[in-house]
Amino acid sequence: MNKYNCPTCQNKTELSKKNIFRPFCSKRCQNRDLGSWAEEKYSIAENDLNLPLESKNIYNDDSGN
Ligand SMILES: [Zn+2]
């Protein structure tokens, strides 16, 4: 039997096709991980939103000349 620790709660979890929440032990742990990942992605997307705006201003200034 393949046993490993759930990445979220570190509980001993069975690695089998029965476990639909792999690599997590439960839906709760899966959601927790997805939640933190989505939060991280959102903050990155927010930073990305500011970058093109800045480069666009530079581009406009250049082409308007
Ligand atoms: Zn877990």
Q: What is the band of 34 on the pLDDT scale with cuts at 50, 70, 90?
A: confident
What's the gap in Å between 46 CA and the centre of ligand 1?
Answer: 30
Query: What pLDDT, on the 0 to 100 scale, is given for residue 4?
Result: 86
Q: Which domains does the chain have, with CATH numbers?
A: 3-63 (3.30.50.10)
Average pLDDT score over residue span 9-14 = 90
Can you give the length of the chain in residues? 65
What's the gap in Å between 24 CA and the centre of ligand 1?
Answer: 5
Reference 25, options 45, 39, 7; nearest CA is: 7
Reference 32, options 51, 11, 14; nearest CA is: 11
What's the gap in Å between 40 CA and the centre of ligand 1?
Answer: 20
Query: What pLDDT, on the 0 to 100 scale, is given for residue 48?
Result: 66
Return the amino acid letter for 15.
Answer: L
Average pLDDT score over residue span 28-36 = 82
